[in-house]
Copies of this chain bind each other. A is one copy, B any other.
Amino acid sequence: MSMTEHSSREALALSRLYHDFDEEHLVPLWTQISDLMQPAPAPQAVPHVWRWSALYPLAARAGRLVPVGRGGERRAISLANPGLGGRPFATPTLWAAVQYLGPREAAPEHRHSQNAFRFVVEGEGVWTVVNGDPVAMRRGDLLLTPGWHFHSHHNNADAAMAWIDGLDIPLAQYADAGFFEHGTGRVTGSATPDLSRSERLWAYPGLRPLSGLQDTASSPLAAYRWEHTDRALREQLLLEDEGRPVTVSQGHAAIRYVNPTTGGDVLPTMRAEFHRLRAGAATPVTREVGSSVWQVFDGRARFVLGEAAQAVEKGDLVSVPSWTQWSLQAETDTDLFRFGDAPVMERLHFARTLSGPAGQ
């Protein structure tokens, strides 16, 4: 048998082997390993900026054209990361959307195992009713609806309102962990109190009700109010001025929203933070395993993502995929809300961070 004959017989045998693998629902690792196990994370998701100036008018148009109610459930418009093939996912783990509710509209009650929060970049007048507890939504507030809590929204004002929804929908779908259930049709909390019952019970620094001594996976506090966030950040910067090392880096104050029963993240799958940079301040250049989404709350900054930089301003939303190099440089005093899947990476021990000196 010649060399040629030999190698053509080998090629044939290999081809038959691969065919037989296929028949038996088997795949050889050796042809796939370079895709499956790359030197460092190579996300399909890409860094992307969604402009509030485009988003909000589209939401308003939807407000005129699309009713809200049982079935569609929410008038929410999802960010679809351009790298993720049209799926409505901001990153592989995170769902982010603008939800729009017209004057006197309501979104029906349901619950799901997916964890959710709302963050309000502007406006007020809507109440989210969480397990029967009406929670006012106002500019700068973070509102929680942890997994399997019933919730609905009703707009009590004569103006429309829009806000950001953040959920772990992609993660729950990936993990085949999603459950969903409709609530009752009737409104379970039409009242419009300034403070929810949850806050009246839990929103005190370092105080825990004796009736609430069991730790919970998600925070029992339904609302984190802007007045506290704003003041915490302001004080950090004042303390920095007084020479105290309490900021993350020079001119960069930040807080994490936490579950008061544990001091840990507000939801088991999502971290939420608020950052304030003074004009001219910059964050370190950072890469992290895990993805996040930022929203500019106020001000104007340069967001450096990999090699590119973009100017961002109030309302703009930015996706930062895993292991993407990022940094922020504030042009004016800038406030930013951030959420991400860091608790997932930490709990699974996949977390890893590289952080260099502040960028320019």
Chain A residues within 8 Å of B, Cβ to Cβ: 10, 13-14, 17, 20-21, 24-33, 36-43, 45, 48, 50-51, 54-55, 58, 61-62, 65-66, 68, 71-82, 86-88, 92-93, 95, 97, 112-114, 147, 169, 171-181, 197, 199-213, 215, 217-219, 221, 224, 228-229, 231-232, 235-236, 238-239, 242, 244-248, 254-263, 266, 268-269, 273, 289-291, 321-323, 341, 343-345, 347-350, 352
Which residue of the partner chain B has the closest CB to A169?
Answer: B36
Residue of B50, B257, B262, B289 touching A263 (CB-CB under 8 A): B262
CA distance in complex: A320, B344 (Å): 23
CA distance in complex: A62, B248 (Å): 48
With contacts A61-B17, A65-B10, A207-B257 taken as known, whether A349 is within 8 angstroms of B217 at the C-beta atoms is yes
CA distance in complex: A205, B38 (Å): 35
Q: When the two chains form their complex, are residues A204 and B178 in contact, meaning their CB atoms are under 8 A apart?
A: no
Q: When the two chains form their complex, are residues A263 and B208 in contact, meaning their CB atoms are under 8 A apart?
A: yes
What are 20 pairs between A and B in contact, CB < 8 Å?
Answer: A13-B61, A17-B62, A20-B61, A24-B54, A26-B79, A29-B97, A30-B66, A30-B68, A30-B74, A32-B78, A33-B74, A39-B181, A172-B350, A175-B345, A200-B239, A205-B224, A205-B228, A206-B219, A268-B347, A347-B347
Q: When the two chains form their complex, are residues B348 and A175 in contact, meaning their CB atoms are under 8 A apart?
A: yes
